[in-house]
A and B are shown apart, each in its own frame.
Chain A
Amino acid sequence: DAGVIQSPRHEVTEMGQEVTLRCKPISGHDYLFWYRQTMMRGLELLIYFNNNVPIDDSGMPEDRFSAKMPNASFSTLKIQPSEPRDSAVYFCASSSLTDRAGSYNEQFFGPGTRLTVL
Chain B
Amino acid sequence: GENVEQHPSTLSVQEGDSAVIKCTYSDSASNYFPWYKQELGKRPQLIIDIRSNVGEKKDQRIAVTLNKTAKHFSLHITETQPEDSAVYFCAAAGGSYIPTFGRGTSLIVHP
Q: Which residues of A contact B (CB under 8 A)?
A: 31, 42-43, 45, 48, 56, 91, 97, 103-107, 109-112
User: CB within 8 A of B97: which of A97, A109, A110?
Assistant: A97
> Contacts A48-B98, A97-B97, A103-B49: A109 and B103 contacting too (C-beta < 8 A)?
no
User: CB within 8 A of B45: which of A31, A97, A109?
Assistant: A109
> Contacts A91-B43, A105-B93, A106-B46: A42 and B101 contacting too (C-beta < 8 A)?
yes
A-side contacts of B49, CB under 8 Å: 103, 106
B-side contacts of A91, CB under 8 Å: 43-44
- The residue among B34, B43, B98, B99 with the most chain A CB atoms within 10 A of its own CB is B43
* CB under 8 Å from chain A, chain B span 9-34: 32, 34
- The residue among A43, A48, A56, A91 with the most chain B CB atoms within 10 A of its own CB is A43
Other CB < 8 Å A-B pairs besides A42-B102, A109-B44, 11 of them? A42-B103, A43-B104, A45-B100, A91-B43, A97-B97, A105-B34, A105-B93, A105-B97, A105-B99, A106-B49, A107-B34
Complex contact B101–A43 (CB within 8 A): yes
Q: Does B89 contact A (CB under 8 A)?
A: yes
